[in-house]
Amino acid sequence: MYYELRNKLSATECHQNTCESLGINTVSYDTVKVWFWKFKTGNFDIEDEPRPGRPIEVDCEQLKQITDQDKNVSARTIALELDIC
């Protein structure tokens, strides 16, 4: 996306090029707009920014047990069982 921005393409053109090259559901137009805005404002950090609130800690073994029992378990059910919602 940065390459497209540097070559004076719009977010719309970048989105179209990405979807043509990599597949229609590769990236949403809104995501492209967010990255274009970040790059235009000088933010080149690709790491997630800290978010407010308590960080969530998950017992990976418990998560594995839940998903092993039901491969189609919903994210909401997992969150309820792990008490993280």
pLDDT, tens digit, for every residue of 2-59?
Answer: 999 999 999 999 999 999 999 988 899 999 999 999 999 999 988 877 878 877 788 8
Residues 37 and 13 in one domain: yes
Residues contacting residue 17 through CB under 8 Å, at least 6 positions apart: 4, 9
Asked if residue 31 and residue 55 are part of one domain, the reply reads no
Report the number of distinct structural domains present in the chain.
2
Q: Residue 85 pLDDT more than 80?
A: no
Residues ≥6 apart with Cβ < 8 Å to 8: none
Give whole-number Cα distances, 47 to 34, 43, 85, in Å: 14, 11, 24
pLDDT value of residue 56: 77
Give the pLDDT score at 43.
92
Range of the domain at 72: 50-84
Q: How far apart are CA 68 and CA 42, in angstroms?
A: 44
**54 & 80 share domain:** yes
If asked whether residues 35 and 55 sit together in one domain, one would say: no
